[in-house]
Chains A and B, each alone.
Chain A
Amino acid sequence: MSGFLSSSIARKVAMALSALFLIIFLIIHLAVNLTSVFSADVFNEASHFMGTNPLIQFAMQPVLIFGVVFHFVMGFVLELKNKSARNVKYANYNGAANASWMSRNMVVSGAVILAFIVLHFIDFWIPEINTKYILGDMSGVLPGEEGYRYFEELQHKFANPARVGAYVIAFILLGLHLAHGFQSAFQSIGFNNKYTKCVKSFGTWYSILIPFGFIFVALYHYFNH
């Protein structure tokens, strides 16, 4: 990495900006998911719109994928660099005395989230891409059936307890990742002032409510399929 991104602070800022972008994305994703609890029709319409709108598919989606990949790659690169900054380890290192578990284990929660994203892509994204762009079926309707297929597919996926369990664990780790990451992103971009207390408490609520929302949707469909 050369130029601007070779500096430690620039990398921090880049991590923070990609994180803030992903934080906004999570809200949108959860909003669409929550519609499935209230109305199958609304969920179907929203899914079809998100899945076929050219602006979302060909402009927003590549930006999102870039943001996700960048955040993961940069996160792991920084972790390796940081590990190498201490070539001899302490015999006794009491990390819990001065920093939270979440802040010290962002790479652990991050790795679990990465594993979840792989599973999530295999579950939903790859079949969607296959149906729409390889088989060329943009209708959103199963052959011989009426109405959109999205809600039914969702219910089918969340009937499997192993998958629901994996999702729940991943969302708990996402919550722990956000519990540190939310306020950390603001600190990295230099935002530390009289509003920091608000940012921290908003971040805490965000890191609880967003993962809780995702878990609620997964469990709702598991118990109501």
Chain B
Amino acid sequence: MRVGVVTFPGSLDDGDARRALGLAGAEPVALWHGDVRLSAVDAVVLPGGFSYGDYLRCGAIARFAPVMERVIERAREGMPVLGICNGFQILCESHLLPGALVRNDHRKFVCRDQALRVESNTTAWTTAYAEGQEIVIPLKNGEGGFVADDPTLDRLEGEGQVVVRYLGSNPNGSYRDIAGIANEVGNVVGLMPHPEHAVEALTGPSTDGVGFFTSVIAGLVSA
């Protein structure tokens, strides 16, 4: 099972994402932003960081990287894609996911272990969880406020496309406490918190993040 992790200039969590995939049992494949081929990967993770220095808007430049043309094309064909933090921002800028991420309402960078509720376990990246399961994984962002207009939010809620929701106090002003969403089919998922930082007891607050990666592997094996 080959899962690609794209490194953009300014990516930070590509190493951790590859490591998490390896621990979950996949073969992590390093992809470069300038790649025009996806080297036969079965799924792709867009990692956290500050691609292209967050110039213009977070994810706005990365969206036009050569590798993204193929990622967008394959995502529309059903390939699983997970965007974490900056990766979530890139997926929104690419219009693979609705809405946008804006500066935290309290204007400060937030870095903490965050409790979440898994609202949907039918996406390609969340089948390992129980619906309603509560997990704790790290959250770290300056522009993590999820915004969309009301009809879009209503549609996301109604169609079960809200994947994870913040528990406790809202860390960044995200509308309706939304921490992560999926596209209509469920192969594309984006979230601000970092499951790849919660895969080993030594370095994470929990190992609750592993499920994102085992989910996609299980789905690909049975496909």
Do A and B come from the same complex?
no
